[in-house]
Chain A
Amino acid sequence: MSDGATRLKRAFAEAGRPLLVPYMMGGFPSLADSRDVARALQPAADILEIGIAFSDPLADGPTVQAAGQAALDQGVTPADVIALAGELRDGPPVVLMTCVNLVLAAGPEAFFRDAAAAGVAGLIISDLPCDEGDDIRAAARAAGVAIIALVAPTTSDERLREVARVAEGFVYCVSVAGVTGGAVSVDDDLRSFVARVKAAIPLPAVVGFGVQTPGHAGTIGEFADGVVVGSQLVRTIEADGAAAAAALAAEMRAALTGDA
């Protein structure tokens, strides 16, 4: 088992409650400001997820897409975001999220060597399904960075078992068939989807996409091992700044711990 995967699993085991995974776009609103955003989010974050902007994301809704484009327009590079992660290594584990082409362009060995050196625990690749990228997974494993698998409501039970063979750290349950930033409906479909995932994959199950309110987070925490909050935080950062985003993250965290 890779080092990053061990750290991530330990985070779940030690908390003994559902974890909060706030998402932020690296380099948004600017590279310097995103450093402040990260520091502001750290106290509420059990795991911090940082996006590396790609020019042509397929799974991002308008909010995250626009944030990524703003970062790209300012010349933010994958190396900048990995360096930002390196500055945050004293805090909660960092996972990065990006698209496969940025890993291929850097070369998987170099990409994961740099990420590991920055203390990055895991990488979510939104367009790398479980049956692609053997070379990428091998390079990540060698460097000790976990590749976090994504599963969707459309993923069959048979395919969940295939995902189980490559999944590390935790498994990211995409709450809706859709892009990021809509509103999740916390209903029986979501509950049964997460139950299917937990039955097939022996890792913590974290729900993301469309988690907007502390109420969402609290309810999802009843049946999942954690929640990712992304677009709602990006919107808050854009409208009201890092402190407001930190306050929202703290409310979410309180809802997950039952303190709300």
Chain B
Amino acid sequence: MTDIPTRFGPYGGRYVPETVIEALDEFARAYSEARDDPGFARERDALLADYVGRPTPLYRAEGLERLHQAGPIYLKREDLCHTGAHKINNALGQVLVARRMGKRRIIAETGAGQHGVATATAAALFGMSCVVYMGRTDMQRQRLNVIRMKMLGADVMPVDSGSGTLKHATSEAIRDWVTNVRDTHYVIGSAVGPAPYPEIVADLQSVIGREARAQILDAEGRLPGTVVACVGGGSNAIGMFRGFLDDADVALVGVEAAGTGIASGLHGASLGEGTPGVLHGSLSYLLQTPEGQVAEAHSISAGLDYPGVGPQHSHLHDTGRVRYVSATDQEALDAFRALCTSEGIIPALESSHALAAVARHGREWGTQGPIVVCLSGRGDKDVEQAGKAMNIDV
């Protein structure tokens, strides 16, 4: 049985009420055993292939290349996963482990609703009951996903505290878990939270980077010059980056939400503008006041509207292995529109932040070799919000 790392450099740890420590130990043990069990791998891989639709394509976006006069640009099409985003890779894996642990009740937090939908989907597949916590603001701006979760049989619990976004939904989910820990598994949706979650979520998402690396070698006969992904909590990014961390010549770029501009103070750039602190059970970069109260984040994209970030990203930021930049709401909307019209692909607003960085830096990056962008999700959930910003009147 292999031990699961609890720290990434100084970051991570388990800063949680004593009540859930036993459950964290149990989850680490169960995941570790599952990983060493060929039967588990067979079942998971079969589901990833036949149910999720993996491997997802690595698609060369020539329309985008023409637009940005840069290239080659490849999109890792996580938007083509069942349920419409990479979140299902993690949700399915965790629910499989929950079943091994004999837990019958699943809870989750969600921001954009993609993780909530993925978890509701996995729970439906395995006949488990599912409760998803979601901020009231997010329920309004991601209405489609609220309806999907309910159709899938999940209870969606609105969270009214604070700004009604992902931070508050996560706190509420943890409080539920503290109360119902004996029969409930908490499926955290990003590479955040107390150990062992950041490692397990990253491990379950690492299929993205593994596939992308093999696919780009197949297509180009060389490694990419630059790999780009958006970072809220950072699960699609860490899943993608893990495929390339040991390839020193591959530049890795994470794109945080700059909201209405870093200078406005309304953003979600935890790595760019935050300081180390503890939120939701782990030590990582955090937007906070000098006294240590956690600040509200701001982003047009509910999935990036989070004041914290996964602990491995904090470590990769400190070591310099990954460069973290940011893109504003407006840049993300421009990139959203550009992908719609140049490629016929409607991206999630989260993924649009990664595309915005390509719009800004693509020409320079293109000189270093192929660019691979993680298109982490599709944008159906965002059409009302983005449509309004694009003045589409129906």
Footprint of B on A, CB under 8 Å? 54-61, 65, 69, 72, 77-79, 99-106, 126-132, 150-156, 159, 174, 177-179, 182
Contacts and interface: CB of A to CB of B under 8 A. Distances in A.
Contacts of A79: 291
A101 B178 contact: no
B18 A179 contact: no
A105 B175 contact: no
A154 B279 contact: no
A105 B292 contact: yes
A127 B179 contact: no
Given A58-B175, A105-B291, 7 more contacts: A56-B279, A58-B171, A102-B292, A106-B292, A132-B15, A154-B181, A155-B22
B15 A54 contact: no
Given A58-B175, A59-B17, A154 B182 contact: yes
A175 B161 CA distance: 26
A127 B292 contact: no
26 contacts: A55-B293, A55-B294, A56-B280, A58-B171, A58-B174, A58-B281, A59-B17, A78-B292, A101-B288, A129-B14, A129-B15, A129-B18, A129-B21, A130-B18, A132-B15, A150-B18, A151-B18, A152-B21, A154-B20, A154-B181, A154-B182, A155-B18, A159-B21, A174-B17, A174-B18, A177-B178
A132 B194 CA distance: 12
B350 to A, nearest CB: 22
Given A58-B178, A102-B292, A177-B181, A69 B161 contact: yes
A100 B21 contact: no
Most buried by B among A69, A155, A178: A178
Contacts of B17: 58-59, 126-127, 129, 150, 152, 174
A251 B262 CA distance: 55
A196 B175 CA distance: 25
A132 B281 CA distance: 11
**Interface of A, helix, strand, loop or mixed by DSSP:** loop
Contacts of B167: 56
Interface in B264-283: 276-281, 283
Given A77-B291, A101-B278, A104-B292, A128 B178 contact: no
Nearest to B182: A177
A129 B23 CA distance: 13
B163 to A, nearest CB: 11
B161 A127 contact: no
B290 A105 contact: yes
Contacts of B278: 99-101, 104, 127
A159 B25 CA distance: 11
B24 to A, nearest CB: 9
Nearest to A125: B15
A65 B178 CA distance: 15
Contacts of A178: 19, 178-179
Nearest to A176: B179
Contacts of A102: 291-293
A39 B36 CA distance: 59
Interface in B54-81: none
Interface in B235-291: 276-281, 283, 286, 288-291
B292 A179 contact: no
B13 interface: yes
A55 B277 CA distance: 13
B316 interface: no
Contacts of B18: 129-130, 150-152, 154-155, 174
